[in-house]
């Protein structure tokens, strides 16, 4: 079996650009930095969830689903892209939104919240932080089934083994681009949240027997639980995709020093990263994921973990619609 033989919806229009970031590399004085532009993936506003949904929605349609249920934070990119996929496919979309930061839900907020509405989400239910989200989604699924509907539930962040295959495929895509560029990649740096992106990359590189280090920058959890989550999902993803290879014991690397006070809460490092990427390369990062991941990249260079002479790829997973709900902080 190969990933190209599994059902997908064809949401990708081809490889996303893999491009050098010369000015950022020069300013940081460390490794040669390259950008993988998954912020340019199709989907209202783009971003990493498109790769996962390509597999997940194909599965939903195979099962004759008429509605998609998923969950996320109140400004979730994953929920936006699920709503986008549902709109394209003529499915209903139900969201369960977790208010991880108390008081942060504002029904008339801009950013992703605005786009949920525009994309025609049929219902969104807000639950307090710490709620068992799988149980909350199952509750929604039960009531839809009772009404004669056939819902398909997508795990938070699309991070099931099937969804994570999107990033196993991305690892293959990256290796092929490096092949044509004559580039030998030492490391990838990515945000690590619900972990499908990080785990999928590990599974894909392991399957290709490619010794590329994957540095996951946690946006939420401490290192130990996040590493456990990534490892578990990476192993299940290898199995799901019928990939060869195993995840070596030391392959799971999570850096948890860039979360700051908590998920989605601003940090000075994030602000510095956003400003630097915008001014050096004209790249818009987001405050919740890629801003903190870039803060991690900058610090790993300053600490000498990533060094001159190495080739390092920063995975831009998208998320810029969230910029517009941080204007008070960013303009202050
Ligand atoms: C969801 C998300 C991530 C994290 O990806 P996971 O697979 O959930 O770890 C990173 N960046 C953006 C913009 C996201 O929306």
Distance from the CA of 283 to the center of ligand 1, in angstroms? 17
Pick the more confident residue, 104 or 190.
Answer: 190
Among 161, 193, 254, name the best residue to mutate to test ligand 1's pocket (greatest count of ligand atoms within 8 A of Cβ): 193
Atom 13 in ligand 1: which residue has the minimum CA distance?
319
Q: What is the DSSP letter of 17?
A: P
> What pLDDT, on the 0 to 100 scale, is given for residue 127?
98
Residues with CB under 6 A from ligand 1: 47-48, 77-78, 157, 159, 191-198, 286, 289-290, 317-319
Do residues 240 and 165 lie in contact, with contact meaning Cβ atoms separated by under 8 Å?
yes
Pocket test for ligand 1, best of 191, 192, 316 (most atoms within 8 A of CB): 191
Query: What pLDDT is recorded for position 73?
Result: 97
Strand partners, 34: 20, 313
The DSSP call for residue 7 is -
Break the chain into its structural domains and give their ranges: 3-47+159-330, 49-158
275 pLDDT tier (thresholds 50, 70, 90): very high
In the reported structure, the alpha carbon of residue 78 is separated from the centroid of ligand 1 by a whole-number distance in angstroms of 8
Mean pLDDT of 224-229: 98
Tens-digit pLDDT profile for residues 110-157: 999 999 999 999 999 999 999 999 999 999 999 999 999 999 999 999
Looking from the CA of residue 286, the nearest atom of ligand 1 is: 13
For the segment 92-115, the average pLDDT, to the nearest whole number, is 95
Query: What percent of the chain is modeled with pLDDT above 70?
Result: 100
In Å, what is the CA distance from 33 to each residue of 131, 213, 294, 307?
39, 14, 11, 11
Over the stretch 19-54, which tens digit does the pLDDT of each residue have? 999 999 999 999 999 999 999 999 999 999 999 999
Q: What is the band of 18 on the pLDDT scale with cuts at 50, 70, 90? A: very high
d(CA 124, CA 96): 6
Fold classification of 49-158 (topology level): Rossmann fold (3.40.50)
Q: At what angle do helices 161-181 and 223-240 cross, to 10 degrees?
A: 80
Which residues are CB-neighbours of 148 under 8 A, at least 6 positions away? none
Q: Which atom, in ligand 1's list, is nearest to the CA of 167?
A: 7
Rounded percentage of the chain residues whose pLDDT exceeds 90 = 97
Are 3-47+159-330 and 49-158 the same fold in CATH? yes
Atom nearest to 322 CA in ligand 1: 13
CA of 249 to the centre of ligand 1 (A): 24
Q: Which of 236, 225, 230, 224 is nearest to 251 (CA)?
A: 230
pLDDT over 80 (residue 1)? no
What does the mean pLDDT of the chain come to? 97
Atom of ligand 1 nearest to the CA of 196: 7
| Catalytic residue list | 76
**At 2, is the pLDDT very low, low, confident or very high (cuts 50, 70, 90)?**
confident
Task: Measure the CA dihedral 231/236/238/241, to 10°.
Answer: -150
Q: What's the CATH code, domain 3-47+159-330?
A: 3.40.50.1100
For ligand 1, mutation pick of 163, 225, 319, 322 (most atoms within 8 Å of CB)? 319
User: Taking the model in full, what pTM does it have?
Assistant: 0.98
Residue nearest ligand 1's atom 1 by CA? 157
Q: How confident is the model at residue 245 (pLDDT cuts 50, 70, 90)?
A: confident
């Amino acid at each position: 079996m190969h990933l190209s033989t599994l059902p997908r919806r064809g949401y990708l229009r081809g490889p996303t650009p893999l491009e050098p970031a010369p000015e950022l590399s020069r300013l940081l004085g460390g490794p040669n930095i390259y950008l993988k532009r998954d912020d340019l993936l199709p989907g209202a506003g783009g971003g990493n969830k498109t790769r996962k949904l390509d597999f997940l929605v194909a599965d939903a349609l195979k099962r004759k689903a008429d509605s998609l249920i998923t969950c996320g934070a109140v400004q979730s990119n994953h929920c936006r892209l699920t709503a986008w996929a549902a709109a394209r496919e003529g499915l209903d979309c139900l969201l369960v939104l977790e208010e991880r930061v108390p008081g942060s839900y504002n029904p008339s907020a801009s950013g992703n919240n605005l786009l949920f509405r525009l994309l025609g989400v049929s219902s969104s239910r807000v639950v307090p932080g710490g709620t068992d989200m799988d149980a909350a989604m199952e509750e929604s699924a039960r009531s839809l089934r009772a009404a004669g509907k056939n819902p398909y539930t997508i795990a938070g962040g699309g991070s099931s083994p099937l969804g994570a295959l999107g990033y196993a495929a991305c690892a293959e895509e990256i290796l092929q681009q490096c092949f044509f560029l004559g580039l030998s990649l030492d490391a990838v740096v990515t945000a690590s949240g619900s972990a499908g992106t990080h785990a999928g990359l590990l599974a894909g590189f392991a399957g290709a027997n490619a010794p590329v280090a994957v540095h996951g920058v946690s946006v939420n959890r401490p290192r130990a639980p996040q590493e456990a989550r990534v490892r578990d999902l990476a192993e299940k993803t290898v199995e799901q995709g019928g990939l060869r290879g195993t995840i070596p014991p030391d392959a799971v690397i999570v850096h948890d020093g860039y979360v700051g006070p908590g998920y989605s809460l601003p940090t000075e490092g994030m602000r510095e990263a956003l400003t630097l990427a915008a001014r050096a390369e004209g790249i818009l990062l987001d405050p919740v994921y890629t801003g903190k991941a870039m803060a991690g990249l900058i610090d790993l260079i300053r600490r000498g973990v990533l060094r001159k002479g190495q080739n390092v790829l920063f995975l831009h997973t998208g998320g810029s619609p969230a910029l517009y709900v941080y204007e008070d902080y960013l303009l202050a």
